[in-house]
Amino acid sequence: MNCKIEIVPRLLHFKQPAGTSRGVYTTRKVWYVHFTSPEFPGRVGVGECAPLPKLSCDDLPDYGKRLADVCRWVEEQGGKLDGEALRDYPSILFGLETAIRHFFEGTWALWNTAFSRGEAGIPINGLIWMGDFDKMLVQIEAKMKEGFRCIKLKIGAINFEEELALLRHIRAHFSAGEVELRVDANGAFSPVDAMEKLKRLSELDIHSIEQPIRAGQWEEMARLTSESPLPIALDEELIGCNTLEGKQRLLSAIRPQYIILKPSLHGGFTGGEEWIAEAEKRNIGWWVTSALESNIGLNAIAQWCATLNNPLPQGLGTGMLFTDNVDMPLEIRKDCLWFCK
């Protein structure tokens, strides 16, 4: 098929500074890809390529040039994607998968599911951003009033005792049966004190902890997953592990209780499905999370997630982050994300 891919860079602005383990984000650079063909006049497929600075394996100094080269190559292939050739460029693969699917479906409802038909919402967690004690407490109380049944706190930014106090505050009002608590350490614990902290967290009926120690310490992480009273979910650990053999080695060596899948970071839809298949062979649980994409990427992730029939709360509550986001028929009602057809 004769096709053309136009690249449209955008700088998005956060409504509030977003505190993460890699610092505070106030802006977010993304590259939209517009897929067109003279064979289908007036039709455009849009995808989002959004590597995370200092985190994505394809966060490269010449990212814009690499993206342009890939787009020209896809044009030469008549719009066909070679997932194998793009394994090392997960954000580019995700953006192009989205754009091509959007082009051929002709609608933001990228798959035919109860979610895309507006018949069912996807349960999501309420995300509490890093900040000082008072700011995090305000966020927590707001999420509880909104009716979230799963709350995720990013920890590791303030004193651990204060973080425990925030978690105790939630537990004083809601039991584990009423509100599920997840925490994300983003690798903030050291191997020396991680087990003690995991034990203390487990006393508060925490569902799981993401990435307690930094990625790359397979032996230490395997020890924690085998001995921790608190289930461990891998996130950053998966980044850059792009081959099937690499995924098999990592999951077999560490044996986490869960993995968290972010298409922009972990191989697009095809790479995500590969992770899921290998995880399920080993009885490892999983859920899907967005990675600070605009609504273009968030919608694509949610549409894909709805095909997977995972009942756990997903990490898809990031659609209201930007002042200059793209309009999309997505809406959060209570603790579910809905597609308003």
Which residue type occupies 246?
G
Q: How far is CA 99 from CA 6, 53, 70, 108, 247, in A?
A: 11, 22, 14, 10, 26
**Same domain assignment for residues 307 and 246:** yes
Do the domain assignments include residue 115?
Answer: no
**Same domain assignment for residues 267 and 314:** yes
**Same domain assignment for residues 147 and 87:** no
Backbone angles phi, psi at 82, to 5 degrees: -110, 95
**Same domain assignment for residues 197 and 155:** yes
Model confidence pTM above 0.85? yes
Q: Given the structure tokens 């397979």, which residue do they identify? A: 218
* Total domains in the fold of the chain: 2
What residues make up the domain containing 245? 122-339
Residues 18/20/25/30 CA torsion (nearest 10 deg): -100
**Same domain assignment for residues 183 and 82:** no
Do the domain assignments include residue 146?
Answer: yes
Give the pLDDT confidence score for residue 105 in this predicted structure: 97
Give the pLDDT confidence score for residue 21 in this predicted structure: 62
Give the pLDDT confidence score for residue 3 in this predicted structure: 98
Using CB atoms within 10 Å of the CB of residue 213, give its burial: 0 to 12 exposed, 13 to 18 middle, 19+ buried.
buried
Q: How far is CA 63 from CA 52, 116, 331, in A?
A: 12, 32, 32
Do the domain assignments include residue 114?
Answer: no
Catalytic pick from 152, 197, 247, 262?
Answer: 262
What does pLDDT average to in each consecutive run of 10 residues of the chain (341 residues)?
97 87 85 98 97 95 98 97 96 98 98 98 92 84 90 87 91 89 93 96 97 97 98 97 98 98 98 98 98 97 98 91 95 95 75
**Same domain assignment for residues 127 and 98:** no
**Same domain assignment for residues 139 and 95:** no
Give the pLDDT confidence score for residue 22 in this predicted structure: 67
Give the pLDDT confidence score for residue 128 in this predicted structure: 87
**Same domain assignment for residues 100 and 170:** no
Nearest in space to 114 (alpha carbons), one of 331, 307, 322, 336: 307
Summarised one tens digit per residue, pLDDT across range 285-330 is 999 999 999 999 999 999 999 999 999 999 998 778 899 999 999 9
Give the pLDDT confidence score for residue 131 in this predicted structure: 78
**Same domain assignment for residues 45 and 126:** no
**Same domain assignment for residues 96 and 136:** no
CA distance 298 to 129: 18
Last residue of a domain, one of 74, 105, 136: 105
**Same domain assignment for residues 41 and 161:** no
Give the pLDDT confidence score for residue 2 in this predicted structure: 96
Q: Judge whether 154 counts as a catalytic residue.
A: yes
Helix (H) / strand (E) element for 26: namely strand 23-36
Catalytic pick from 152, 154, 197, 247?
Answer: 154
The CATH number for 49's domain is 3.30.390.10
Using CB atoms within 10 Å of the CB of residue 224, give its burial: 0 to 12 exposed, 13 to 18 middle, 19+ buried.
buried
The CATH number for 246's domain is 3.20.20.120
Summarised one tens digit per residue, pLDDT across range 232-272 is 999 999 999 999 999 999 999 999 999 999 999 999 999 99
**Same domain assignment for residues 292 and 328:** yes
Give the pLDDT confidence score for residue 173 in this predicted structure: 85
Give the pLDDT confidence score for residue 116 in this predicted structure: 98
